[in-house]
Homo-oligomer: A and B are copies of this chain.
Amino acid sequence: MNKQIKLSVSTLNVMECVDWVMSPECGGIDVFIGTVRNATKGKTVVRLEFEAYEKMAISELEKIADQASIKWPVQKMLIHHRTGVLQIGEIPVIIAVAAAHRHAAFEACRYIIDTLKQTVPIWKKEIFEDGEVWVAVHP
């Protein structure tokens, strides 16, 4: 199993991620792309800021990828996550998984994003016109 895990302050590149996981041994690739929504509970979001505890975030992401590769027969896995300021429509996260069979790719990709949102030390702050708030989705 071949993995690439990265935190980045600059724009994530979907095509670069897809190209990295694509290989002639794989039959299916599943890609999850998060995007910054323009509203939360009806309130207009101006921009987002992501903060990461970088060393630990990388190490938790590595664990998640390793777990996924134990659970499902996957060939390549990529996780790129943004940090810093993101405008509406920008991409906070890209997860790409290539496998010989599509079910493994789907399952692993979903496992990675679900687990990432529970365990990886990255925090999102939503900036509204009249204030800002640290998001706490998983209390």
Contacts and interface: CB of A to CB of B under 8 A. Distances in A.
Interface of A: 14-15, 18, 22, 24-39, 88-89, 98, 100, 102, 105-106, 109-110, 113
The complex is assembled from copies of this chain, and their number is 2
Contacts of A109: 30, 106
Contacts of A29: 31-35
A35 B30 contact: no
Given A22-B89, A24-B88, A102 B37 contact: no
Main secondary structure of the interface of A (DSSP, over half): mixed
6 contacts: A24-B35, A26-B35, A29-B35, A30-B33, A32-B105, A34-B102
Contacts of A36: 24
Contacts of A15: 14-15
A11 B82 CA distance: 30
Contacts of A33: 18, 22, 28-31
Given A15-B14, A22-B89, A37 B27 contact: yes
Nearest to A39: B25
Contacts of A39: 25
